[in-house]
A and B are shown apart, each in its own frame.
Chain A
Amino acid sequence: MRFLNTQLVNVLRRQCITQTPVLTQREGSWLMTRCLKTLLLPSSPPWRALSTAQRLRKEASQPSTDKLDLDLWKSVMKSGGDSAVVTQAEESAEASPLGAVRELVEMWRQAGKLVPENMTEEELQTLEELSTKSSRKKYLKYLALKEGHKKARKKKQEKKKQERAEDAKGSGEDEEEDGSRMKNTFLLQFWQRSIDALYNWRAAQAMQFGQSLVFDMSYDRYMTRREIENTVSQLLECEGWNRRALDPFHLHFCNLKVEAAYHKELIKRYSGAWDRLLVSATDRPHQEVFPREKLVYLTADSPHVLKTFDHDKVYIVGAMVDKSIQTGLSLANAKRLNLATARLPLDEYLLWDSGAKNLTLDQVIRILLTIKDTGSWEKALRFVPSRKHEGFYKPQQSEHKHWGKAEARRDNSRTQGAFVRHQAFNPKMQQTLLKDSRSGETAGKSKGKKNWWEEED
């Protein structure tokens, strides 16, 4: 008789309690369960709670509070012997060496704390390595919020899907008659694929002839894991904005060590697309890739203001997210290499309200793309988050403020508009135009675009 094996009996006992209805429905096993139940559970605890409840209900229906048994819940709790909770915890404890941590998480969840429902082994491992209670709680909260967002997104997607399906049902007949959504229009319709091809074509052009923009990827040791994740998210966004721009930059990821944190994360996020991506990634430092005098490091701590966007320079942006503010890190790097530095003219154009003057990478690239295209800081600096400032200085005011702040630089006292024109007819610029017709086309385009904008305004 295998039934005498205690372990098996235990398992069966559990099954009986939790899954009795399921078991009884199964044909064949029905009789066996019945027998087992009578054999193993003479006092049949699952029903007991129910019966007390019934008794209580009767009592409660009597109005007098004097007879109210305040400790009844204790007997209920005591009688309800081993519950499903215990079995669950037991199983998980046996399953993995991280059982104790998993149990803790489970109990914290029951205590109403913000913890995720499902955790991977990797996450549990990270959790166990955290030494303090508060850091563990923080990490769990982060995971829980992430899980929540994921769930909400999925729900929304499903809802949309459903709606779409209903829509299709509702207007299904007409559409089929019309022939799937083809409308009579004089505009040429594009497939997403052909738009992608166009973007890629532009990116490829930029890689051959366009202006370079460097992301300095040497900050991984200053960042936590999560900060690196955020950085890579921002880099993805940067690449996206750049790809869709009229005249994209040639992006360089310099100092990108293979198998380092950045690299791993980039590959993880791009999955297969990483190898097809139209950017230059190299483990060589930027000062080796480009001539030193062409490099300008953009950093919020720089004493120099970037007044004119120079189409000949190679600007460097530090690919870093610092949640705890680390001042002067990128400036230190620039100082070490003796590179020119510059900061965006935020104070010169914006009535700064509050907040640090560092910007996210995607904001920076949108600012740079716009200034490159239009030459207008007013347009470019619209990408500075509006919560950080109260608006732009008025046109006349901005000139005074701008040049008043940067002391004693009389040579730059021409107006903003003049500067733009000057830049457009920059002799150097013309040289490049002559040298290469392709880049000339793009430059011409951007100029045309600028004029169009100005007319609009």
Chain B
Amino acid sequence: MGTLLISCTLNNIYPLLVHSRSSCFAVHKNVSSFFKVWVPLKVQRFSTRVGNSHEGDNKRPNTKQKEQSGKVPHALPKSVFAAGTARKKAEFLKQKWGNDFDKELKGPRKPKENNIPSQPLTAAQWKTLKDDARASHHFEVSMMEKMLAANSDIDVAKSLLAYVAMETGTVSYELLLRYLTLCVHGNHESEVFDVYDIMKKRFKTLETGAYSLFIKGFSRTEKWRECLLLLESIKRVITPSPRNYGYAINGALLHGDSRTAWVLYEEMVEKGLTPNQETWQAFFDSDRSAHDSESKLSSLLLYMRNNQIYPGEALVKSIKAWFESVPGNKWNGSWTTPENSGHCRNCCSSLESIQLTEDEYNQLKEKVMNDVIQGKDVFKKTTPQELESFKSFVKKRPPFDVVIDGLNVANTTSKGNQSETLLEVVSHLAQQNLRLLVLGRKHMLRGSRSWDRKNMSVIQQKADCFFTDNISEDDPFLLYATLHSGNHCKFLSRDLMRDHKACLPDSSTRRLFFKWQRGHQLVLSSYTAGRRIRFETVPKYDTIIQTEENSWHIPYDEDGVERYSYEVPRKWLCLEMKR
């Protein structure tokens, strides 16, 4: 157990301690190491209760096993930006507040009457069925929809159509469309062709739904070239969806026309559409035997990198298979997670740093200043006078090491006094000889039950403080001060800054902001008044698809983990070239 304790702490040393003096290091090491072991256990209990039983149940035996084998247990770092955290939290809160809401939604619903015939009926039989039905005017369409939901036999649908055609002399477009859906989903090629001929004859134009279905239906057949014509028809009224393009590309790839597929792909990207993961997978799968478009495939990976898209598990498996099938058996792929130090556990090469380059940093600084703080209307978040006074305040002081969102930190726990909480965190950081800036609002100085004047004056001794007007926002000031103090400066807040990220004009700046945020945001991970203060680990590496001369590192989304847009995956694929 002793070895376990030490290895744990060394592994997850909280990054700020690097700055600290050795004396306080010793004090904190004990505190933190004591809780390091307990945290995963707590997590485990919490997750089992929540119902994520697989993870929770597996964790304990795993640690034991590793303990026995003497290996370093690498519990995944707990971070607000790690995939699945938000989902877990939501479930935890749901559990905490009771599941009433959910139950209400799911409540006892009437079982849908399932009166789909199991075999084709005659017209007379259909007629009696229709007369029995409650809403007879919508009978055919709703029946067809039920068949689609139940995935029933196509002959039954045909008999219904025969009945309708006989009764009315025609079949409506809506009904044909539902039947077509049934055919496409059931993979009935010849039926799709027939419906196509009929619809083309009866109707001068079709609508987007029918076109999309036909593209999907045709893509798997010999007549896949028809997809291209259909795609053209869609283009006349609307930009085709990535799915439309995806099926057309699939069709081309299935029939060995990779040139057309690539042309379509480029057209799609040019239109600003984001391709589907299935489309990329099709490219990797189809090229596995031929291996004649290596550069194009690596451009796909770079496209994902540039747009910060993470492949799903299915796609990443295809990518791995493609690399491993490169002639000459050159590549070796393995699943891994990086260490906190930023090294790949598999190949020990270091990953790209999360730190921004000088240029990127300046660009971000300017954009945040212009778009987040000033925006279209300075008055919306602050006033020009206040902004100026804050600017000069920051300029007059030497750069800060940590900027603290006072109100956010003070509200970390519901227990205890707000000013005491803030004071404790501030003195904890001040002990490490860090230059601090605390941002707050003016009402904190007025003195009240939760904002004790004494505490506030101690805070003001230990750190620089700036209090904004009660009606101004404090987050933009936090960002400004942090960015202005230079690349080493971090900020402390639980806020994910999503609303501020959304103020940024283009997606590339937003990605830059997110990268900077992951590398510079401290989050209190556990806090108990008077006893422990711990922060989440700040990663040293950037989670993005990356390549070097003879390696690829690809973070991917595991199946079963719901990743929110402000989170990054934890699992990686490491591809290295054999020497």
Contact = CB atoms under 8 A, between A and B. Distances in A.
Interface of A: 49-50, 52-53, 56-57, 60-61, 63, 65, 68-74, 76-78, 80-81, 83, 85-86, 89-90, 93, 100-101, 103-104, 107-108, 110-112, 131-133, 136, 301-303, 328-329, 331-333, 335-336, 407-408
Contacts, number: 146
Interface in B194-248: 194, 197-198, 201-210, 236-239, 241
B237 A303 contact: no
B172 interface: yes
A78 B166 CA distance: 13
B194 A74 contact: yes
Interface stretch (B58-66, B295-303, B377-385, B403-411): B377-385
Contacts of A302: 471
A351 B205 CA distance: 57
A57 B123 contact: yes
A333 B448 CA distance: 31
Nearest to B470: A303
A104 B166 contact: no
B169 interface: yes
Given A49-B169, A70-B159, A131-B239, A86 B174 contact: no
Nearest to B155: A70
Contacts of A49: 169-170
Counting from the closest, the 10 A-B pairs by CB-CB distance are A107-B207, A73-B165, A60-B123, A332-B379, A110-B173, A70-B158, A49-B169, A76-B165, A112-B174, A56-B166
A78 B122 CA distance: 21
B162 A112 contact: no
12 contacts: A49-B169, A52-B166, A53-B166, A56-B166, A65-B120, A74-B194, A77-B201, A80-B169, A85-B203, A108-B208, A110-B174, A136-B238
B166 A303 contact: no
Contacts of A333: 379
Contacts of B210: 107, 111
Contact of A111 (B124, B174, B238): B174
Contact of B166 (A60, A71, A301): A60
Classify chain B: how many residues form its interface, as a range: 35 or more
Contacts of A78: 197-198, 201
A83 B141 CA distance: 21
B204 A103 contact: yes
B470 to A, nearest CB: 5
Contacts of B209: 111
Contacts of A61: 124
B503 interface: no
A120 to B, nearest CB: 19
Contact of A73 (B119, B164, B236, B380): B164
A101 B238 CA distance: 9
B161 interface: yes
A103 B205 contact: yes
B121 A65 contact: yes
Given A56-B162, A65-B120, A407-B448, 16 more contacts: A49-B169, A50-B169, A68-B162, A72-B162, A76-B165, A80-B202, A83-B202, A100-B237, A110-B174, A110-B203, A111-B173, A133-B238, A301-B471, A329-B377, A329-B380, A335-B383
B411 to A, nearest CB: 18
Contacts of B261: none
A83 B206 CA distance: 15
Given A60-B123, A65-B121, A72 B166 contact: yes
A65 B174 contact: no
B407 to A, nearest CB: 15
A335 B163 CA distance: 71
B198 A77 contact: yes
A73 B174 contact: no
Contacts of A80: 169-170, 202
Which of B162, B172, B197, B383 counts the most chain A CB atoms within 10 A? B162
B205 A89 contact: yes
Contacts of A111: 173-174, 177, 207, 209-210
B366 to A, nearest CB: 23
Given A56-B166, A104-B207, A111-B210, A73 B171 contact: yes
Interface of A is mostly: helix
Contacts of B165: 53, 56, 72-73, 76-77
A407 B205 CA distance: 68
Contacts of B198: 74, 77-78
A101 B237 contact: yes
A101 B446 CA distance: 63
A77 B170 contact: yes
A107 B206 contact: yes
B202 A77 contact: yes
B211 to A, nearest CB: 10
Contacts of A68: 120, 122, 159, 162
A38 B554 CA distance: 74
Which of A74, A93, A407 counts the most chain B CB atoms within 10 A? A74
A335 B379 contact: yes
Contacts of A408: 446
Nearest to B472: A335
A342 to B, nearest CB: 12
B203 A89 contact: yes
Contacts of B169: 49-50, 53, 76, 80
A86 B209 CA distance: 19
Nearest to A104: B237
Given A110-B172, A333-B379, A335-B383, A73 B158 contact: yes
A405 B381 CA distance: 24
Contacts of B470: 303
B170 A76 contact: yes
Nearest to B170: A80
Given A68-B162, A332-B377, A89 B237 contact: no
Contacts of B239: 131-133
Given A73-B158, A77-B170, A133 B208 contact: yes
Contacts of B237: 100-101, 103-104
Contacts of B383: 335
Contacts of A103: 204-205, 237
Interface string B446-467: 1010000000000000000000
A328 B172 contact: no
Contacts of A69: 162
Contacts of B448: 407
Interface string B156-190: 00110111111101111110010000000000000
B202 A107 contact: no
B180 to A, nearest CB: 11
A133 B242 CA distance: 12
A131 B241 CA distance: 12
B503 to A, nearest CB: 13
A19 B383 CA distance: 73
Which of B120, B124, B380 counts the most chain A CB atoms within 10 A? B380
Nearest to B207: A107
Contact of A63 (B122, B173, B177, B377): B122
Nearest to B209: A111
A378 B173 CA distance: 58
Contacts of A50: 169
A332 B380 CA distance: 5
B173 A107 contact: yes
Nearest to B194: A74
A110 B202 CA distance: 13
Which of B119, B210, B377 counts the most chain A CB atoms within 10 A? B377
Interface string B488-516: 00000000000000000000000000000
Which of A69, A76, A100 counts the most chain B CB atoms within 10 A? A76
Contact of B162 (A70, A108, A132): A70
Nearest to B176: A77
A1 to B, nearest CB: 30
Contacts of A83: 170, 202
Which of B166, B167, B238, B239 counts the most chain A CB atoms within 10 A? B166
A451 to B, nearest CB: 39
